[in-house]
Amino acid sequence: MSLGTKSKIIDSINKLKKEKNAVILAHCYQNIEIDEVADFVGDSLYLSRQAAQTGADIIVFAGVYFMAETAKILSPSKKVLLPRKEAGCLMADMINAREMKNFKEDHPDACVVCYVNSEAQIKAESDVCCTSSNAVKIVKSLPEQEIIFVPDRGLGAYIASQVPEKKITSYYGFCPTHMRILPAEIDRLKARYKNAQVLVHPECHMEVIKKADFVGSTSGIMNKVKQSHAQSFIIATERGVLERLQRDYPEKEFILASEKAICENMKWNRLEDILISLEKEVHEVLVEEETRKKAYMAIKKMLDLS
Ligand code: 13P
Ligand code: SF4
């Protein structure tokens, strides 16, 4: 796209945002060009909070389906738009309502904690929700000793390592993007970049997490860089975080832990899609009211506890 075309699209988006009282929320795995029109860029927890408190009439969610759905659960009177309807989450798709029912029946006395990376019907069947930035805090704060965690076995294993006093059983879901980051690759990069800090997202393999200097959500990783005096960082999460760090800290060195750490679903949205979404008010995300109310309770409990 030429610079002239790009700036015309950005101008049109900004004009429509004003006319329609719309806000654009963008996850930090999005194509970096989206930041030029976004009102808020961050991790899942930060964006959920923005969705809950916005005074806008329209929320355009530059992210994946479960994020836009979470915004709709929190702000049912707003029109929530997902620019590209293909943008799903492979991990969220790994559990459906029937599988959730069976998992709960196998653990009748357990408290059910669900990762925000799940569909509304899964949240509706959970006691409390969490994101990667507050999962450990939420699980620690629950009075129950027995927990079942859905759908991510990666984050579930990390929580179990941090809260050893509780019995935590995870569902078998996983994030394909983070699972492509391998421990041998971290070893190879650490040998080459001897002074680099290793910053890891908790959706990674436990063997990768064990090699980390810091474990945190996408915003957690970005904040860690901001506070650190180190010059060099190995980034074990999706490429979008690395690109934003390179933009914001050009004097520092960032190495992606795997060239394969790209979430294809997060990359659907382009500036053109945001413009069409605002113009035509597509694709609207709706949640059936009974399900929404139940899912809201799980998300609200998370926001109160974190
Ligand atoms: P956070 O935004 O909580 O770091 O989660 C990353 C992720 O995989 C979102 O899909
Ligand atoms: Fe889902 Fe993983 Fe992509 Fe996040 S990075 S949206 S968990 S597939």
Cα–Cα dist 128/114, whole Å: 6
C-alpha 20 to ligand 2 mean position (Å)? 30
Work out the average pLDDT over 60-73: 98
Mean pLDDT of 111-125: 98
pLDDT digits (tens, 9 = 90+) for 249-279: 999 999 999 999 999 999 999 999 999 999 9
Residue 306 pLDDT > 90, yes or no?
no
How far is 274 from 84, CA to CA, in rounded Å? 9
Omega before residue 143 within 30° of 0, cis: no
pLDDT digits (tens, 9 = 90+) for 142-182: 999 999 999 999 999 999 999 999 999 999 999 999 999 99
Which pLDDT value is given to residue 101?
98
How far is it, in rounded angstroms, from Cα 243 to Cα 29?
9
Q: What is the pLDDT of residues 20-43, one digit of tens each?
A: 999 999 999 999 999 999 999 999
For ligand 1, say whether the CB of 237 is within 6 Å of any of its atoms. no
Among all bound ligands, the one having the nearest atom to the CA of 132 is 1
pLDDT-based confidence at residue 1 (cuts at 50, 70, 90): confident
Note the pLDDT tens digit of each residue in 211-249. 999 999 999 999 999 999 999 999 999 999 999 999 999
CA-based max dimension of the chain:
60
What is the per-residue pLDDT across 172-182, written as a single tens digit (0 to 9) for each?
999 999 999 99
As a dihedral over the C-alpha atoms of residue 248, residue 252, residue 255, residue 257, rounded to 10 degrees, the angle is -70
Q: Where are the alpha helices (DSSP H) in 21-152?
A: 44-53, 65-74, 97-106, 120-124, 135-141
Residue 171's alpha-carbon distances to 71, 95, 126, 162, 222, in angstroms, are: 25, 8, 13, 18, 29
- Identify the band that residue 4 occupies on the pLDDT scale cut at 50, 70 and 90: confident
Whether the CB of 175 sits within 6 Å of ligand 2: yes
pLDDT at 164: 98
- For residue 200, what pLDDT is reported? 98
With pLDDT > 70 as the criterion, what percentage of the chain qualifies?
A: 100
DSSP state of 110: S
Phi and psi (nearest 5°) for 269? -70, 130
Q: Looking at ligand 1, which atom is closest to the CA of residue 44? A: 2
Q: What's the confidence (pLDDT) of residue 198?
A: 98
pLDDT at 110 over 90: yes
pLDDT of residue 2: 86
Give every CB contact of residue 45 below 8 A, 6+ residues apart in sequence: 116, 131, 133, 134, 217, 219, 306
Bridge partners of residue 86, in order along the sequence: none
**Average pLDDT of the segment spanning 193-209:** 98
- CA-nearest of 181, 16, 27 to 116 is 27
- The ligand placed nearest to the CA atom of residue 177 is 2
Q: How far is CA 248 from the centre of its chain?
A: 20
Rounded Cα distance, 287 and 82, in Å: 13
Residue 3 pLDDT: 83
pLDDT in tens, 183-192: 999 999 999 9
* Ligand 1 near 70 CB (within 6 A): no
Domains and CATH numbers, the chain: 3-89+266-286 (3.40.50.10800), 92-175+292-305 (3.40.50.10800), 181-260 (3.40.50.10800)
Binding site membership of 291 for ligand 1 (Cβ less than 6 Å): no
